[in-house]
Amino acid sequence: MAINSASTLFDKLWSDHTVCELDSGETLLYIDRVFLHERTGSIALQSLHSAGYKVRDARRVFCTMDHIVDTFPGRGDKTLMPSGSDFILATRSETRAANIRLFDVNDEDQGIVHVISPELGLVLPGLTQVCPDSHTCTLGGIGALAWGIGSSEAEHALATGTLRVRKPKNMRVIVDGELASGVTAKDLVLHLIARFGSNGGAGYAVEFCGSAIRRLSVEARFTLCNMAVEFSAFTAIIAPDETVEDYVAGRDFAPKGEHWHDACRYWRTLRSDEDAVFDRELRVDANLIRPMVTWGTSPEQVAGLHECTPDPETFAEIHRREAAQRALEYQGLKPGQVIADIAVNAAFIGSCTNSRISDLRAAAAVVQGRHIAPGVRGVVVPGSRRVKREAEKEGLDRIFTAAGFEWRDSGCSMCFYAGGETFGAHQRVISSTNRNFEGRQGPNTRTHLASPATVAASAIAGYITSAESLANSESLIA
């Protein structure tokens, strides 16, 4: 479909995939990739089969074992989650029957769906990809139009290769300036949510741009776009550039030969026109951002490490006042506590937000030559088996284990609680994950979101701190 006027990147991708406009006001979009996982994949495939339908094109459908599978070394089909093995066995059976490529429990390319999709080159700039997981927006980091769907929508996409979607509005978030040393994409997105609220992106597709965004690595762009759903956005996207081309080149499923050059020519058209009009525009000064950590049970309840927990009475809106009061009670905190004084019981490095090789390198750089504090449990879960092999090749696993961390196999692990493994009730966890609502990491478990470097530093110190503050405190002692 031709573009007759200045368009945003999101509008271009939407238009390129429009099959038709529906009387309902929705658009029927063409879907390039459908990715399933074992928590809901078998259910969608069984339901599809029961309704008398088949997968329309299995070549464009993939599935991985990531949500329920255990991450203990030497794992198999058995899981700590009750009935977890049933999900795994059913997913294996259904994908085999539908001739869908499955990244099984111990497949060498197994991993978290949003990690292995770009890692293998299954998702590419300009493609549409859907998955029954809300953090599918991660893939906007390479310029794909990707969003999370429900199981019934997955059935529709499997059967028809299309989806009915109501088009969201356009938002541009311009991030200029330069992130300070030790400040990461995780801190940037937490800063954004703190400033504009966890519903700040509701009803919008967000395009991140600006000088600070252009300097981000592709893996950092994944982290930023991953938490767009915590901003309540439909999805997020960043225009692909040479950094993305370098990242994609040579991936298993990436175009090769002349197809590669054709693909690059198309990808270079994927940017918003200079005079494109956005429905809303936000600006962020990267120079002002410092390491952030959540104190409450929402990603917007976040502050700098040297700030204090708030007094709920200072919130003007009743709902925010009540939310802050409840969050402090759940977290076992009081108003006015210095965040950097809060002791932790555990540290978790993993999830689709922060489990890639650059995340593990950043955390290992903090950990190297140190040991986690007495009484603190540390767990590191690589995002994929490829990430795990690369980390072991670099010796990162030995750095973590020498420091007292557990070194796991890949998967979602304790990013969320599905009835299996947990850190335990009232345990305080500094975590590189994306959600901190009540019970996210287990019944009554208390979660504080932060970057991998901050998680690593806090594990060493035994209380919430940044890598820079940890080094400064050690130099004073020396």
Q: What is the pLDDT of residue 4?
A: 52
In a domain, 449, yes or no: yes
Q: What is the pLDDT of residue 478?
A: 66
Amino acid in the structure at residue 205: A
> Residue 357 and residue 303: Cα distance in Å, rounded?
27
In a domain, 429, yes or no: yes
> Residue 220 and residue 233: Cα distance in Å, rounded?
18
In a domain, 83, yes or no: no
| Residue pLDDT, tens place only, 418-468 | 889 999 999 999 999 999 999 999 999 999 999 999 999 999 999 999 999
- Token pair, residue 35, equals 């990715």
In a domain, 307, yes or no: yes
Q: How many domains does the chain have?
A: 1
In a domain, 302, yes or no: yes
Read off the CATH number of the domain in which 440 is found.
Answer: 3.30.499.10
CA distances for 317 relative to 313, 321, 322, angstroms: 10, 6, 9
The four Cα atoms 261, 265, 266, 272 give a dihedral, to 10 degrees, of 150
CA distances for 181 relative to 33, 178, 294, 367, angstroms: 37, 9, 20, 17
> Residue 25 and residue 261: Cα distance in Å, rounded?
37
| Residue pLDDT, tens place only, 40-75 | 999 999 999 999 999 999 999 999 999 999 999 999
The alpha carbon of residue 157 and the mean position of all alpha carbons in its chain are separated, in whole angstroms, by: 22
Average of per-residue pLDDT values in the chain: 96
Domain with 400, as residue range(s), is: 298-477
In a domain, 286, yes or no: no
| CB neighbours of residue 396 within 10 Å | 24
Given a cut of 50, the residues of the chain with pLDDT beneath it are 1-3
Three-state secondary structure readout of 333-359 = CCCCCEHHHCECCEEEECCCCCCCHHH
Residues 6+ apart with CB under 8 A from 242: none
In a domain, 196, yes or no: no
Q: What is the pLDDT of residue 419?
A: 83
| Residue pLDDT, tens place only, 304-351 | 999 999 999 999 999 999 999 999 999 999 999 999 989 999 999 999
In a domain, 328, yes or no: yes
Residues 6+ apart with CB under 8 A from 429: 344, 345, 346, 347, 348, 423, 441, 445, 446, 447, 448
At 221, is the secondary structure helix, strand, or coil?
helix
